[in-house]
Amino acid sequence: MIPFNIPPFVGKELDYMKQAVEAKKICGDGSFTKKCHDLLEKQTGCGKVLLTTSCSHALEMASLLTNIQPGDEVIMPSYTFVSTANAFVLRGAVVVFVDIRPDTMNIDENLIEAAITPKTKAIVPVHYAGVGCEMDKIMEIAKKYNLLVVEDAAQGVMAYYKGRALGTIGDVGCYSFHETKNYSMGEGGAVLVNNAEMYERSEIIREKGTNRSRFLRGQIDKYTWVEVGSSYLPSDMNAAYLYAQLEMASEINENRLASWKKYYDGFAPLEAEGLAERPFIPDECSHNAHMFYLKVRNIEQRSELISYLKDKGISAVFHYVPLHSAEAGLKFGRFHGEDKYTTKESERLLRLPMYYGLTDKDIDYVIENIKGFFGK
């Protein structure tokens, strides 16, 4: 059986967790959390990275940091995970969905401007599969209309747009370290604060609305409740687990990229014959092999392929029922413009097994069987 995902594990995780336990400092912001912050700040060039309990929570922090108020509108793609929308809906925002580009499955930057109204407060690009959105254009629109930009870079750790780390281009970026992502701590994430004016508030929001971080640095002699916040900081045991993987980030990334390339080359004949499409990576993007997918003819063919592969012991999956057609999406959002690609392309997309340590033998087996399905 070839599973769809195996959570990354590099070997040092348990040793580091043991160290965290022995240091008798297992709550948040212990030494491993600080090590992760330093490493991520160095790797991304972001001035302030803070670990969170999930990317969902990093997004919630972002919606607090951007001061989203009831009735504000937030523009995002409909082809995304529910957390992208929930974070803003929790603050009373209306979500305005726009269509995606069929090539990258990212928000179509050319459709954003028409969706802007006087109530629009923020744009939330989602870097699908670790492939960057067209950020130059998005930042230009944000500047023109005085909007904030929150990057959902849950899938974008170690990926770049024009040499800039995903998550560091907008005002706030959000990473996920869930077990299905490239680097994991079980459940976890990080918020990347790019706007220096938000540094202090980000610490306050993450520490239950208190100025405890300043207190811990000795800048004040007692800490108090200063604004609305929550508990968004993870246990240092989880940070220890993550740190082992972040230390090996390049190795994990290269391993995934090699698997991705093997799939990509292996499926070239199918694409040449018009039987399936491979992912597209724009020149300005360097991705992280978060995902390898194929697009087949339609939803019926995809269902057939999934069960065909299941019989061969291969787990292939799809995801994201477009949010605008979901029960909550109908209630909390609206789709601006025509759904030309969101539904159609999402129904054709099939994700193949992809994880750190996936063997060449297994990749060959997957390619062979998919070719077999198409009679090749």
In the complex, the residues that contact ligand PLP under the rule CB under 6 A are 54-56, 80-81, 83-84, 126, 152, 154-155, 176, 178, 189
| Tokens 């045991």 found at | 237
Smallest gap from Cβ 212 to ligand PLP, in A, equals: 24
Q: Which is nearer to ligand PLP, 81 or 267 (CB)?
A: 81
Measured from the CB of residue 154, what is the shortest distance to ligand PLP in angstroms? 3
Q: How far is the CB of 60 from ligand PLP (least distance, A)?
A: 10
Q: Amino acid identity, residue 222? A: K
156 versus 209: smaller Cβ distance to ligand PLP: 156
Give CA–CA dist 278/271, Å, rounded.
7
Coil, strand, or helix at residue 76?
strand
* Residue 357: C-alpha distances to residues 45, 245, 261, 291, 360 (Å): 28, 13, 14, 14, 9
In the complex with ligand PLP, the residue whose CB is nearer, 189 or 229, is: 189
* Amino acid letter, 197: E
Q: Which is nearer to ligand PLP, 56 or 104 (CB)?
A: 56
Cβ 69 vs Cβ 60: under 8 Å: no
- DSSP sequence for 133-180: --HHHHHHHHHHHT-EEEEE-TT-TT-EETTEETTSSSSEEEEE--TT
Indicate the burial class of 107 (C-beta count within 10 angstroms; 0-12, 13-18, 19 or more). Answer: buried
Would you say 186 and 8 are in contact if contact means Cβ atoms under 8 Å apart?
no
Instruction: Check: CB of residue 195 under 8 Å from CB of residue 46.
Output: no
Q: Which is nearer to ligand PLP, 138 or 276 (CB)?
A: 138
| Residue 307 C-beta: closest distance to ligand PLP, Å | 25
Chain centroid, CA 303 distance in Å:
26
Smallest gap from residue 83 Cβ to ligand PLP (A): 4
Least distance between ligand PLP and beta carbon 152 (Å): 5
User: 48: Cβ–Cβ under 8 A, 6 or more apart, which residues?
Assistant: 41, 192, 193, 196, 199, 202
Distance CA 45, CA 43 (A): 6
Residue 182 or 253 with smaller CB distance to ligand PLP:
182
In the complex with ligand PLP, the residue whose CB is nearer, 20 or 166, is 166
The CA-CA-CA angle for residues 326, 327, 333, to 5°, reads 75
C-beta of 90 vs 226, nearer to ligand PLP: 90
* Alpha carbons 133 and 61: distance in angstroms, whole number: 22
Q: In 10 A of CB 361, how many CB atoms?
A: 8
Question: Could you tell me the smallest distance in angstroms from the CB atom of residue 257 to ligand PLP?
Answer: 19
Q: Least distance (Å) from ligand PLP to the CB of residue 81? A: 4
For 224, other C-beta atoms within 10 Å of its C-beta total: 10
Residue 354: which of 279, 268, 307, 290 has the closest Cα? 290
CB of 58 to ligand PLP, least distance (A): 8
Q: How far is the CB of 249 from ligand PLP (least distance, A)?
A: 17
CB-nearer residue toward ligand PLP: 54 or 78: 54
User: Which C-beta is closer to ligand PLP: that of 88 or that of 373?
Assistant: 88
Name the one residue in this structure whose structure tokens are 């802007």. Answer: 116
